[in-house]
């Protein structure tokens, strides 16, 4: 617990204080560094590697790691290091889009549920319970079998099964906040609902929602990789980590590197999000 009363500080030093508080937590520092590593790999991919991630070189297939190909090459002679680095772009795209979709749909549903109460609440929560009853992968398979394989449809499927997580969380937060005296006071002073929602409820829910989205991000990476691994998500030759591992299945005993490195990249990314989320939750819990 930090004893400094941050309300007396200027906005700038307040945010500086916030950053130093956050970084003092080892989980946030380590998890944040891992996530940052993945972000940098995605952003700087062309500077990190000069190999084209989809260019084939049929004379140099299934090579072991070497000075030229740090992670070796796959069955089409493509550079695995380059595919792993460019794969970070696909993974971060999947995560940010999927988390954004589920938040944009889930949070309003939760707030409506919490504010409206009674029948509306029961109806929304019933639908959320139904979606939540499906094991994520099973729901995703059902949706992908209707819409067809591919990145977009996989993202729809994955986003759908995180919606109940945000809806339930923001409903609980709304229920906790809506009877607070300052919100009742604002209401009596004639502040309208849209403003109460944005200025009072959302602003006070941001912390827990960020923690939840960080923890969900790790799960999204794993689900997307699993679906692509099963051939239901991103299709070859795109350098998606799950798709690459699915390819590596055919070369067990011949070349494990095709599967080894994409899996390691998944581990680093998911570990980063999970450790970061744990750290953020610890810090937020103290504050709440």
Partner 1 sequence: MKAYVVKKVLSLPLIIFGVSIIVFIAIRALPGDPARLMAGPEAPQEAVDSMRVRLGLDQPLPLQYVRFAAEALHGNLGLSLQSQRPVMTEISERLPYTLSLAALAYLLAIAIGVPAGMTGAIYRQRIPDQIVMVLTIAGASIANFWLALLAMNYFAVELGWLPLLGADSWKNYIMPTVTLAILPMAMIARMTRSSMLDVLSQDYIRTAKAKGLSSASINWKHALRNALIPIVTIVALNFGSLIGGAVVTESVFNWPGIGRLLVDSVRYRDYPVIQGVTLVAVTGVVLMNLVGEILIGLLNPKIRFD
Where on the chain is the footprint of partner 1 (CB under 8 A)? 126-127, 129-131, 133-138, 141-146, 148, 218, 222, 225-226, 229-232, 242, 245, 248-249, 252-253, 256, 259-260, 262-263, 266-267, 270-271, 274-275, 278
Quote the least distance from Cβ 119 to partner 1, whole Å: 14
Nearer to partner 1, 202 or 263 (CB): 263
Quote the least distance from Cβ 79 to partner 1, whole Å: 20
Nearer to partner 1, 202 or 221 (CB): 221
Nearer to partner 1, 46 or 148 (CB): 148
The CA-based angle 285-27-211, given to 5 degrees, is 45
Nearer to partner 1, 85 or 275 (CB): 275
Nearer to partner 1, 93 or 134 (CB): 134
Cα-Cα-Cα-Cα dihedral sign, residues 84, 235, 232, 250: negative
Q: Could you count the other beta carbons within 10 Å of the beta carbon of residue 152? A: 11
Quote the least distance from Cβ 220 to partner 1, whole Å: 13
Q: How many CA atoms lie within 13 A of 24 on its CB side?
A: 10
Quote the least distance from Cβ 252 to partner 1, whole Å: 5
Q: Could you count the other beta carbons within 10 Å of the beta carbon of residue 217? A: 26
H-state helical runs in the chain: 11-24, 26-43, 45-48, 80-116, 118-133, 136-147, 151-178, 181-188, 193-195, 203-229, 241-248, 257-287
């Amino acid at each position: 617990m930090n004893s400094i009363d941050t309300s007396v500080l200027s906005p700038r030093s307040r945010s500086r204080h916030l950053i130093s508080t956050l970084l003092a937590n080892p989980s946030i520092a380590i998890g944040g560094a891992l996530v940052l590593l993945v972000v940098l790999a995605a952003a700087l991919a062309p500077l990190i590697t000069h190999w084209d991630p989809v260019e084939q070189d049929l004379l140099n297939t299934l090579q072991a790691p070497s000075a030229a190909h740090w992670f070796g090459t796959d069955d089409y002679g493509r550079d695995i290091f380059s595919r792993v680095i460019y794969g970070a772009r696909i993974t971060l795209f999947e995560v940010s889009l999927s988390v954004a979709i589920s938040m944009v749909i889930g949070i309003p549903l939760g707030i409506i549920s919490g504010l409206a109460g009674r029948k509306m609440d029961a109806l929304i929560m019933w639908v959320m319970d139904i979606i939540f009853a499906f094991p994520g992968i099973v729901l995703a398979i059902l949706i992908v079998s209707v819409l067809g394989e591919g990145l977009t449809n996989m993202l729809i499927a994955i986003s759908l099964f995180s919606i109940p997580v945000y809806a339930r969380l923001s409903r609980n937060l709304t229920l906790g906040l809506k009877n607070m005296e300052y919100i009742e006071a604002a209401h009596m002073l004639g502040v309208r609902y849209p403003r109460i929602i944005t200025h009072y409820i959302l602003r006070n829910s941001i912390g827990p929602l960020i923690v939840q989205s960080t923890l969900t991000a790790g799960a999204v990476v794993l689900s997307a990789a699993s679906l692509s691994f099963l051939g239901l998500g991103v299709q070859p030759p795109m350098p998606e980590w799950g798709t690459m591992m699915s390819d590596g299945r055919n070369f067990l005993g011949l070349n494990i590197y095709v599967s080894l490195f994409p899996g390691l990249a998944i581990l680093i990314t998911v570990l980063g999000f999970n450790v970061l989320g744990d750290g953020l939750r610890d810090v937020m819990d103290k504050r709440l």
